[in-house]
Structure 1
Amino acid sequence: MDKKVGQFLIENEQKFIHFWEEQIIVHHYRDNPELILQNGHLMYHLITNSMLNGFSEEDVKLLAHKVARERVKANINIGEFVYNVNLGRSIIIKYLNLSGLMPEDLQAIINLVNKQFDLFCYFAVSKYTEIKDKKLQEQNLFISQTHKDRLAILGQMSSSFVHEFRNPLTSVMGFIKLLKHEHPTLPYLDVVSQELDQLKFRITQFLHTSKLNMLAESQNEDITIHLLIEEVLEFLYPSIVDGNVQIHTNIDADICITGDRNELKQVFLNLLINAVDAVCEEENLRKIDIQTNIDDHQIKIRISNNGPTIDPEAVQLIFEPFFTTKKLGTGIGLFVCKNIVEKHHGEIECISDNHLTTFQLTFPIKQN
């Protein structure tokens, strides 16, 4: 009976292929219609051969893997491939129903056809997914390596930058101090000193980014958070006043963190400078709120501002190196913050909605 059906399919091959070709989905600008037609013939031959010579799962797998590689190379939606395959299945079964076989004889043949098409789809989609996943992993590896290469280049640039600028900057800052001592009433010295401190801070940012292993050389101590934040706010006082920014604090005086003072100071400097810059984009009331609390045996520090909302897509990338939402930003400040916070066994996250943008830092409580 199977051989009779196989012969019937051979005799009607051209009709079947023509009918199938008229209905399949083909993108002529990306697809190779001749290759698709060739694969249609190969699948049809597998079906007829199984009727004449017996079913071979290995032959089905080989053809499925061939087609999967071609689909990946053509970058064609796998859904369209599955549609075309199942269209072929439907046409074959339709022709089998016209073969004149009795229903009880026909059912076994249809079951065999369905088995081959099911396996073909399974093997093809599995291989397609495997190849796609591998390509995605290769792309992610390339992106990761590109980040490392960019950081390495930045490291070389930063080393040169620090070397060339640190000595003259130190000299200028020293002479400014002498001028303030000898001419305390001389105008603008405070402004110049403030700007030089900001320049020194930016140089330190690059240094931390290019040589993050330097963090391991830091000296840990017990740091009272409210004193450290007060120091940072004092440093930023001219910018806060100039921007007419209101600062509200609710900081527990007893909260302490064990860590490197200079590193943590840089974290709060970065976050508060960003907050000041953000609220200064608003024309209405400009507010920054700093709160601390202990929750579930963890120290939580929240720095919130009512500046512009950060898009959800940007929130996902905001701690990546070189990503910035500022027109003139470097994209390294928050990357440095994340590395310093994680080095102190903490976490940092950004939450932004229509009302507030909050950076939350979470640190473990020191165990005595």
Structure 2
Amino acid sequence: MQTFCSNVKLPRWTRFLMPIGIFLLMSYGTWAFSHKLCYDQIYKHYGQKSVAIGLIVVVCFLQILLLLIWFQIAVAVGPGKLPQVLPYLILSAQESDLGASEKYQNHGSDGSSICYQCDPNGYPIWCTNCQSLKTERAHHSRELGHCVPKFDHKCTYLGSIIGKDNYRLFVQYCVFMTIWLAIIWTSIVAYIRSITRDYRGHGSHLNGNLIAILILTTLFWITVTSLLLTQLNCIVKNKTSIEVMERRRKAFSTRKMFCYYNPDDGCRYVVELNKKEYESCWSKDSWWANAVESLGSNIFMWVIPWGTSVPKFKPDPEKNGRNDKSTIEAVLGPYKETVGNKTIELIRKKISNNEYLTKVQVRSS
């Protein structure tokens, strides 16, 4: 959900107000569940001590784990920062500069490294705030003051922007939150009938705290589960939340164009993709390849909520000169976004059918 407000800039610390409120609400739920259900009923009344202790330990552990994941998402890891990309690393300042075209020809036979998002003239997208190129799927954050790679969305409930670096942690947060909520409401549902039956006629009634957290956890569980399923769908299709919301609009807010270097004739072509074509342009050959790109290549870390899925990377500014062999891949590293092979085939087909906007001749001398 996006909120449009005035130009008044709030202090950075205000973004933690919502997460603090949610944590306090979770603490209330843990207390009510542990004390009113596990201790008063399961432990004392029914004598199921091991069940009560086990539920208390699991619920408390999950809440601490969720707090740790949130701290990584919002503070320790963050969404990531797109490295500064100089224009000549993607498109030569002069068309007679052969260096750029040679670099393109030396990368990958599938053509993925020679295709980038551009304007109608073939120039890469420029971020006036960062004074740098804004590469594919990156968006500038006024709150952070820099471009975020693979910007997914801004999560008000966690007080953080979700990007390339903390996306896996966000998905894991949704998974463990779903489990935490499910344990609480299913446990209450499992014992609520026995509790009301045993106390019937004794002047007692079901504790109000249990009723309150049953309603809250059920509603939140439905919400978080829906969000988790949406994110899983994005993962297998290699989409972002922004792209999903954009798909629901009747038309694109901006035209979607890509500049492709055709090694067959040594020319650059600007090709426009329609809404349907752009929806699947980032998808790779399989859902597994899409999942690896979103969650990282280390499968064990898919279930361990620690750190980021993006390898440690620090661009070397000394290797960004014109006289060396640096490339866009050397600057962006793991933040480089590539379109799928099917999209490359589609672009080549459009070129062969003369369905392109602009053709630029790259001269060799």
- When Rg is computed on C-alpha atoms for both structures, the one with the higher figure is 1
Specify the TM-score bucket, using the shorter chain as the normaliser.
under 0.3
Q: Which has the higher contact order (CA 8 A, sep 6+)?
A: 2
What's the TM-score once normalised by structure 2's chain length?
0.25
What's the TM-score once normalised by structure 1's chain length?
0.25
- Determine which structure has the larger helix proportion and give its number: 1
